[in-house]
Amino acid sequence: MLSAALAVVMLWGLVLCAPFKPVWRRWLVTASACIPAGLCSWFGVQLAWRRELYEEHSWLSALDVVFALQLDGLSGIFALLITGVGAAVMLYSAWYEIPKRSERGFDALLFWFMGAMLGVVLADDVVTLFVFWELTGVISYLLVGFRSEEAMARRAARQALLVTSFGGAAMLVGLLLLGRVAGTFRISEQVLTDASVGAHPSYPLIVMLVVTGAFAKSAIFPFHFWLPGAMTAPTPVSAYLHSATMVKAGVYLLTRLTPVLGDSTLWSVLLAAGGGATLLAGAVRLVKEQDLKRILAETTVMGLGGLTLLIGLPGSHASTAFAVFLVVHALYKASLFMTAGAIEHATHTRHLPHMGGLWRALPKTCVCATIGSVAMAGMPPTLAFIGKELMYKATLNASAFAGALTAVAVIGNAAMVCGALLVTVRIFWGPKKPLSGDIHEASWALLLAPFVLAVASLMFGVFHGVIERGIVEPSVNAVEGDGGSKLHLWGGFSPMLVLSGVTLSLGYAFYRFRPRLQALSAALPRALQPRVQGIYTGALYGLRRSAELSTRVVQSGRLTIYLTVVFSVAVLAMAWPLPDFVRAGASVELRPLDWLAAALIVLGVVRGASAGKRVEALLGAAVFGVGVGLLFLFIGALDVALAQFAAEAVLLAVLVLSTASVESPPVKRRRKVADATRALFAVAAGVVTTSAVLWITSGRFDTRLSDHFVAEVSAPGHVGSNVVNAILVEFRAFDTLGELAALTAATLAVWAAVSRAPRGPLRAGQARSEQLHIFEVISAVALPVLIVASLWLLLRGHHYPGGGFVGGLLAAGAMVLYGLGHGTERVAAGVPFAPHYVAVAGLSLAVIAGCLPLFVDEPFLKSLWWTEYLGTSVLFELGVYLVVVGGFLTVASPHWEGTRPWE
Amino acid sequence: MGVMLAVLSGLTVAGAVYCMLARDFHRVGVGVMMLVSATNLVLVAAGRVMGRAPVLVGDASVRRAGEQLGNPLPQAFVLTAIVIGIGVIALVFALVRALDQERHRLDADGSSEEEEQ
């Protein structure tokens, strides 16, 4: 039944999202007020008949979390408020004109908020409660910032969200800890459990965390600053969220957990201190405010402080006072907010000094405001008067600091009286101030809701028996276990009555001497003026600044910095395990020719790194490449050596000509420090690499895989003798296919980049390839020879050194050299297809060659032979050949000046 | 041979890092070339050079008496690495060339030619 109620509310919110014409919308929302009104009556009946409802659905059973709802006296009183005030707010909102009314979500958001808030007060399981808690926070963010085009609204919404969510996070930790300590997440069971939470060592931590969350939500000191800021919200939002519901969530939680966490000095001290400080802070800020809604906000803050104070005080007087105050505060505050909205609607301003003598122009509004203010001031015969007397009784009977607590309560209530006077006397009576624009009073439909609420606070005071039996008793019962104190309007001449009188007079004094008090507070030195909000703004500012700073340092946009960081991390990571003593493992003996290769490598590296001009560096790289190729040759890696030589030769020819044909940048000043750091990193990287390689090679080596491949190829039925080639094309053909795909993709990427890049004018350098006659002559002769040789290498690759990779490199190199000598148009004439197509064709051929065995029930890419030199592997190699040719031509093409031959 | 390969790869890595930290993009490209080859040397070293005979079996074998066959696996790796490496190197230098064609030629520190003067 409870979850059904929640579901109805949420779903109706969805209905309200649909686009309706504004005229229909008004009546639809008015009619929607029946839903919360109905729920309110239902809750009231349950409460009156003392029925308690429980409901649970399994949710996260592995984590022991249950979606559990319960309705008892305490939940009931809150649920009554939520739905009752909710009905009034819906009625009000229907007739309230928000300038951007075309935003459809407003009424839906209000309904969803109602549902979420109901979920908070009905939840029995702490995780369920947290979920609904955060949901109210999110929806309130959307509602407070509803006029999102105003910067102030956005800022206020963000501030409210950040502060309450910060508290919510702390609260979650505290609740989970509590669940652990108590052994269950169900609050109703936590109350019953024998495990005394109070004696557990984590108890203070739990209390601090939970109290932080509740304080943040209910705007208790030191989190009280977000509430006045949230007054940028449209008035229905202020009337609902910030007076009757959301801010009461923290108070609800504290009350709900009092049986579990209460009964200790820490609890009482925290709550009493927080509540008292809030009362004083609100009073001080009230004196300075000139905005109508912010004045009401400060009185709300004070009211919440008073409620918190009452929770902290043990005893039935305090609990009863709490219940009474809860009800009446919601009633009159919502009513006053709505009235303030009506005043603003009529006069288009909220600034207090601009208003005066409006009773003639706004009679109905005046009546509403007056009744509500009488309640706020706590004058008899309103329910608030009863509540105030009970409050004084509770503070006077407090076990410690009775005098201080009472004084604080008096000051707070006096400030409320002052606020009440400001809202009525200042605005409606007194000298008439001139107002710009014409004043037209709001319709009675708009004023109906606040009127009803205000009258209710009056009526419940007179007929307080209903309240006492129906509402107060069950709620106090739920917390204390016994019925509360009796409510009476007239308790005889008692200290409380005296205090009430003192409060009224003090309040009037505040009102009369407000200008003097304002001057006094302005004259205070800055150090004494409380600036809690400054901490929040300062924290946000500091966060943003540090983010900017760290981004500027880390993301400097300089490649050298990025690379330095990368290499440093790599070097450190490799250097970590190396203190082990490194020995070289066994390997072949060195021969004299090996030293030749090594010398070339060293020479090439040194020259390449230290050269001044670009071309010199490339030549150094060329020498280095030859050295590496020779080294491969001398250790018997013939295929690899062939590939290395072919690749190096052609690549460097292309690069040198490309580099030389463009003007080199002027040689920059060498910066000593920068060079030294570079050298340092380089040496570190080199040392670490050498040690790492020595360490690797000193370990045991498992030769099983290599032996397996050699044995496979040596087997009698196998066609082919070149083991390396067999690995690439037969045993690991799938990997090679993947590499072909990668090469093709890179080819296409280069082609795409090249074809789209705008070609700016080149600064011409000294060399122009057409002038190199030696190229012209030699390449004309060499081209056909090299092409034939490449094909020969391709076909013999399976039995002798060679293969598709080497053949492709040779062919592509020959074509590139020819292009350098004779111009690229001649190459294009010879190869009619654009090179990237050739690469794609090669990839397709390789895949087809792999698919052929499938037709004879053999696996993909299995090597099948028709004759000694013709088989699926040869087709595969041809595919490799084409991919390499196409790829190499494409990546070389950006270096050919001017022309784009294949377009 | 193992020690020589270790020393050579360390030296090449040092040269490569030195080049890659340079301000001129062209030099960064040269560094990339060196790094690719250095990695190939490391691969060969890791495969342990236990023999110098080319890995050909059967009729094509050129093994002399007393010689061991080389390790075919790292040779296969390095072969593909070389091919892919030249693709990468050519791409880097294509980017260098494109940067050279910009009106304000940039270097690795993000400052342009004009500012240097």
A840-871 confidence digits (pLDDT tens): 999 999 999 988 888 888 888 888 888 877 88
What is the nearest CA distance from B74 to chain A, expressed in angstroms?
Answer: 9
Report chain A's C-alpha Rg in angstroms: 43
Q: Find tokens 């109290």 and name the residue.
A: A211
Give the alpha-carbon dihedral of A340, A343, A345, A351, to 10 degrees: -80
Mutate to test the interface with A, among B32, B34, B39, B88 (most CBs of A within 10 A): B34
Kindly provide the residue ranges of all beta strands, DSSP E only, lying in A4-82, ordered along the sequence. Answer: 53-60, 65-71
Judge: B58–A721 Cβ closer than 8 Å, yes or no.
yes
Given an 8 Å threshold on Cβ–Cβ distance, is B21 in contact with A560? yes
A694 to chain B: closest CA residue: B6
More confident residue, A645 or A746: A645
Q: How far is B105 from chain A (nearest CA, A)?
A: 8
Average pLDDT over residues A457-473: 75
Distance CA A501, CA A798 (A): 110
Which residues of A are less than 8 Å from B28 in CB distance? 559
Neighboring chain B residues of A697 at a CB cutoff of 8 Å:
2, 6, 45-46, 48
Q: Which residue has the tokens 């592509």?
A: A812
Query: Of A479, A496, A278, which Cα lies nearest the Cα of A386?
Result: A496
Q: Is A123 helix (H, G, I), strand (E, B) or coil?
A: strand
Express each pLDDT in B28-77 by its tens digit: 999 999 999 999 999 999 988 888 889 888 877 888 877 888 899 999 99
Contact flag B59-A894 (C-beta cutoff 8 Å):
no
Report the share of chain A in percent with pLDDT over 70.
Answer: 90
* Pairwise CB contact (< 8 Å): B15 & A608: yes
pLDDT score recorded for residue A559: 83
Report whether pLDDT(A765) > 50: no
Q: How far is A301 from chain B (nearest CA, A)?
A: 55
Substitution target in B41, B57, B62 with the highest count of A β-carbons within 10 Å is: B57
Short-list A283, A596, A331, CA closest to A457 = A331
CA distance B29 to chain A (A): 10
Would you call B49 and A635 a contact, using CB atoms and an 8 Å cutoff? yes
> At residue A677, what is the residue type?
T
Residues in Cβ contact with A288 at an 8 Å cutoff, skipping those fewer than 6 apart:
A518, A521
How far away is chain A from the Cα of B57, in angstroms, using its nearest Cα? Answer: 5
Phi, psi of A53 (to 5 degrees): -120, 140
Contacts of A563 in chain B (CB under 8 A): 20-21
Please report the beta strands in A182-283, taking only residues with DSSP state E, as ranges in sequence order. Answer: none
| Residue-level pLDDT at A669 | 64
Nearest to A558 among B54, B89, B109 (CB): B109
* Contact (Cβ atoms closer than 8 angstroms) between residue A206 and residue A181: yes
- Interchain CB distance below 8 Å, B24 and A665: yes
Tally A–B CB contacts below 8 A.
Answer: 297
How is residue A351 annotated by DSSP? Answer: B
Query: Which of B20, B54, B55 is the closest to A710 by Cβ?
Result: B55
Is residue B15 a contact partner of residue A690, using CB atoms and an 8 Å limit?
Answer: no
Taking CA–CA distances from B72, the nearest residue in chain A reads: A724
Interface with B, mutate which of A565, A588, A638 (most B CBs under 10 A): A588
Q: How many CB atoms lie within 10 A of CB A871?
A: 21
Contact between A810 and A786 (Cβ < 8 Å): yes
Token digits of residue B108: 């690795």
The two tokens of residue A241 are 């969220």
Q: In the structure encoding, which two tokens stand for residue A785, read together?
A: 């020879």
**Mean per-residue pLDDT, B78-104:** 82
Mean pLDDT confidence for A639-655: 90
Nearest to B14 among A685, A763, A887 (CB): A685
Minimal-distance CA residue of chain A relative to B66: A588
- Residue B113: closest C-alpha in chain A: A665
Q: Which of A724, A754, A885 to mutate to test the interface with B (most CBs of B within 10 A)?
A: A724
DSSP state, residue A524: S
Q: Can you tell me the distance from the alpha carbon of A308 to that of A218, in angstroms, rounded to the nearest whole number? A: 9
pLDDT value, residue A897: 56
Look at residue A582 and tell me whether its pLDDT is greater than 80.
no
User: For the residues A679-691, what does the mean pLDDT come to?
Assistant: 91
Mean of pLDDT values over A554-562: 81
Q: Please count the CA atoms within 13 angstroms of the CA of A248 that sit on its side-chain side.
A: 33
Residue of A521 and A447 predicted with greater confidence: A447
- Most B CBs within 10 A among A634, A689, A722, hence the mutation to make, goes to A689
Per-residue pLDDT at A771:
54
Calculate the alpha carbon distances from A548 to A154, A545, A554, A556 in Å.
Answer: 22, 5, 10, 11
Tokens of A37: 């009104």
Residue of B37, B40, B64, B88 best to disrupt the A interface, most CBs of A under 10 A = B37
With contacts defined as CB-CB under 8 Å, which chain A residues touch B82? 640, 643-644, 647, 805
The Cα of A867 is separated from the nearest Cα of chain B by a number of Å equal to 17
pLDDT tens digits for A433-453? 776 666 777 777 778 888 888
Interface contact A760-B102, CB threshold 8 A: yes
Closest residue in A to B6 (Cα) is: A690
Give the pTM. 0.67
pLDDT at residue B114 in the model: 46
A696 vs B113: CB contact, 8 Å cut-off?
no
How far apart are alpha carbons A263 and A257 in whole angstroms?
A: 11
Report the C-alpha gap between A825 and A900 in whole angstroms. Answer: 9
Nearest to A416 by CA among A307, A274, A490, A533: A307
Contacts of B75 in chain A (CB under 8 A): 637, 639-640, 724
Across the range A452-458, mean pLDDT stands at 82
Confidence label for A167 from pLDDT (cuts 50, 70 and 90):
very high
Note whether B60 contacts A643, CB cutoff 8 Å. Answer: no
Q: Which helix (H) or strand (E) holds A254?
A: helix A246-261
**What tokens does B33 get?**
């070339």
Average pLDDT over residues A112-137: 92
Taking an 8 Å cut-off on Cβ atoms, the answer to whether B69 and A710 are in contact is yes
B47–chain A nearest CA distance, Å: 8
Max intra-chain CA distance, chain B: 67
Q: Which residue of A has its CA nearest to B73?
A: A706
Shortest alpha-carbon distance between residue A60 and chain B (Å): 51
* Record: contact B60-A594, CB cut-off 8 A: no
Question: Distance between CA atoms of A123 and A130, rounded to whole angstroms?
Answer: 9
Distance CA A524, CA A534 (A): 17
A386: closest CA among A490, A301, A300? A490
For an interface test with A, the pick among B62, B79, B96, B105 (most A C-beta atoms closer than 10 Å) comes out as: B79
Per-residue confidence (pLDDT) for residue B117, from 0 to 100: 36
Chain A residue with minimum CA distance to B53 = A636
Q: Are A375 and A382 in contact (CB under 8 A)?
A: yes
pLDDT over threshold 90, residue A174:
yes
pLDDT at A437: 62
- The shortest CB-CB distance from A608 to any of B30, B76, B89 is to B30
Higher pLDDT, A98 or A240: A240
A658: nearest CB among B46, B72, B97: B97
Q: Inform me whether the pLDDT recorded for B20 exceeds 70.
A: yes
Mean pLDDT taken over chain A: 83
In this predicted structure, the answer to whether residue A583 has a pLDDT above a threshold of 70 is no
- Searching chain B, which residue's CA lies closest to the CA of residue A737? B80
- The reported pLDDT for the residue numbered A856 is 85
Contact A760 B103 (CB under 8 A): yes
Task: Return d(Cα A36, Cα B65) in angstroms, integer.
Answer: 100
pLDDT exceeds 90 at position A601? yes
> What is the distance between the alpha carbons of residues A797 and A805, in angstroms, rounded to a whole number?
9
Q: What is the mean pLDDT of residues A120-125?
A: 90
Count Cβ neighbours within 10 Å for each residue of A725-750 and write b for 16 or more, e otherwise: bbbbbbbbbeebbebbeebbebbbeb
Is pLDDT at B115 greater than 50 in this prediction?
no
Distance separating alpha carbons of residues A604 and A540, to the nearest angstrom: 56
Which comes out higher in pLDDT, residue A450 or A893? Answer: A450
Q: Per mean pLDDT, which of A507-521, A669-683, B65-79 is the most reliable?
A: B65-79
Closest partner residue to A697 (CB to CB) among B48, B79, B90 is B48
CA distance A598 to B11: 11
Q: Compute CA distances A869 → A529, A793, A848, A861, A874, whole Å.
A: 96, 12, 18, 17, 8
Lowest mean pLDDT among A336-350, A635-649, B6-20: A336-350
Query: Rounded to an integer, what is the distance from CA A775 to the centroid of its chain?
Result: 62
Q: Using one digit for the tens of pLDDT, what is the confidence trace for A286-329?
A: 888 888 888 899 899 999 999 999 888 877 778 888 888 888 88
Cβ distance B57 to A713 less than 8 Å, yes or no, reads yes
CA distance A367 to A66: 49
> With contacts defined as CB-CB under 8 Å, which chain B residues touch A884?
83
Q: Which residues of A touch B85 (CB under 8 A)?
A: 647
Rounded to a whole number of angstroms, the distance from the CA of A705 to the nearest CA of chain B is 8
Which has more pLDDT, A585 or A884? A884
